[in-house]
Amino acid sequence: MTKAVEKPATAEKLAAAMRDAAAAGQAVFPVGGGKAMGMGDPPQRAGIELHTTGLDRVLEHSQGDMVVSVEAGVTLEALQAELERAGQFLPLDPHGSPGHTIGGLLASGWTGPLRFRFGSPRDYLIGIRVALPDGKLASAGGRVVKNVSGYDLMKLHLGALGTMGVIVAASFKVFPKPMADVSVGIECESATEAWAAATAALALPMPPAALEVTSSHMIIARFFGSPDATQRTVSDLGWKKKDSAVWTEHARRSPAGWARIAVPRAETLSTAQKLDGTWWASPGTGIVNWEIAGGADEVRSARAATEAVGGSLVIMAGPEELRREVGAWGTPPATLPVMRRLRDAFDPQRVINPGRFVV
């Protein structure tokens, strides 16, 4: 539905483009790496694509303070390469890699298996800067870890698909690269057996940093720590060692249609077993990623089963017809009126991504 593409080279130019679009009654569709273009409900009207890839600078990296500030168009791979030179990293490993931008990851809320150990970006994001539809630039948080002044407005923008402002820069607390990073795996006869093995691994004195179970009953686990402790743990576990590239391949998963299911951890196995087709799950976080091979009825059935146990099913990618028929987000939460008021405060004309989120 978009009519034009703009690629501003600075945050100020991006904000000005938003102001001009709003004044002309046009919608704005922010685009980072383009990985989440199939996420959310279909747009309600045409407009311009505003690409952030021109904002690709690392603004500041303080190795001693373990913080980094970057523009939103920096790719995750470029940021990791910068941090690796200092023996540091950002614990983000989203599916659909490579090519994600930092701003896109924050706006879409995509995470990966390392969420089990490190949480989501909301746990290590310390500052953010956004462009608003009126052309102004607004900041929240800062470039230091101990920043407790004012309202924590950063979290409003995480997973909001840019609907309250286009992210142009962000600052993070970063982490030292582990002394040892070892991956192991095992193939089981059934999902029940795989889940029992995964549960045992999660209960270890040194649990894995990431652990995934697949619909083919395979488990892969990743352990961080000192060389001695890591070696002892994987030896006791007795699983077969895997090349570290197994996680790179796992992160490349990006089906044409897939959904993220989030349920209470105790319901993860039963939820996954009710799904038809291919899935991969993180038992430690209660997240199941499901490849949508069927149509609307299959999605409705899976969503009903998920919501019955207090979970949610969000379509991460899929045809516009499917998202229009079943809805990308599922049953609206009780907090939807509050979400609408917040959006109206930041974007009263619904300039940014109209129709995709908080309709």
pLDDT, tens digit, for every residue of 254-281?
Answer: 999 999 999 999 999 999 999 999 999 9
| For the chain, percent of residues with pLDDT exceeding 70 | 97
Q: What is the pLDDT of residues 124-134, one digit of tens each?
A: 999 999 999 99
Peptide bond into 98 cis (omega under 30): yes
Phi, psi of 75 (to 5 degrees): -80, 155
User: At 149, is the pLDDT very low, low, confident or very high (cuts 50, 70, 90)?
Assistant: low
> What is the Cα–Cα distance from 306 to 166, expressed in whole angstroms?
31
Q: What does the pLDDT read at residue 2?
A: 60
**What are the structural domains, with CATH classification, of the chain?**
1-177+331-359 (3.30.465.10), 180-326 (no CATH)
Residue 153: band (very low, low, confident or very high) from pLDDT cuts 50, 70, 90? confident
Give me the mean pLDDT over the 83-103 stretch. 97
**pLDDT score recorded for residue 143:** 72
Whole-angstrom Cα distance, residue 317 to residue 258?
Answer: 5
For residue 148, what pLDDT band results from cuts at 50, 70 and 90? low
Rounded Cα gap, residues 250 and 247, in angstroms: 5
Region 94-100: mean pLDDT is 97
pLDDT value of position 228: 97
Looking at residue 314, the DSSP 8-state letter turns out to be E
- Residue 171 clears pLDDT 60, i.e. is over it: yes
**Prediction pTM value:** 0.95
Distance in angstroms (rounded) separating the CA atoms of residues 11 and 28: 15
Mean pLDDT for 216-228 is 97
pLDDT in tens, 287-320: 999 999 999 999 999 999 999 999 999 999 999 9
Q: Is 290 exposed, middle or buried (0-12, 13-18, 19+ CB in 10 A)?
A: buried
Distance CA 209, CA 194 (A): 18
Rounded to the nearest integer, the mean pLDDT of the chain is 95
